[in-house]
Amino acid sequence: MPTHPATLFSIATGSPEPIYRQLVEQVRRLAASGQLRPGDEMPSVREIAQALALNPMTVSKAYGLLEMDGVLARRRGLGMVVADSAAPAAKADILGLLRPTLERAAVEARQLELDTDTVLSLFATILKETK
């Protein structure tokens, strides 16, 4: 049984990053961390589109890119599943997925002239709140 799309994905509609890229990156991170395991069934395009109020073509585009990259695979009768090649990544690879997000946050913190301790404290608070 696939995970409910509303709990699997978090879409920032006001983000400059296109929604399909947000979906792609979230699936990559979930697969790299082992939260999505090879063979896990993905929610259908229709389920994701309805749950997140997205255009089905946006979801389809994300799934297509993930399939081309070998993260997802089509299984007859099952729809999309996490590909066998999408085994959990090494810690260094996982950190590499997080780095661009943290680099953007660091640039914004510098632009706001926030000191390191304040930013790290806020980040620690956010980590605790999102458990």
Q: Which residues contact 33 (CB under 8 A, 6 or more apart)?
A: 88, 89, 94
* Contact (Cβ atoms closer than 8 angstroms) between residue 94 and residue 32: yes
Task: Please name every residue paired with 80 in a beta bridge, in sequence order, or none if there are none.
Answer: 74
What's the confidence (pLDDT) of residue 87?
67
Sign of CA dihedral 92, 94, 97, 99: negative
Per-residue pLDDT of 16-55, as tens digits, reads 889 999 999 999 989 988 899 999 999 999 999 999 999 9
How much is the pTM?
0.72
Which has the minimum average pLDDT: 48-52, 74-78, 79-83, 121-125? 74-78
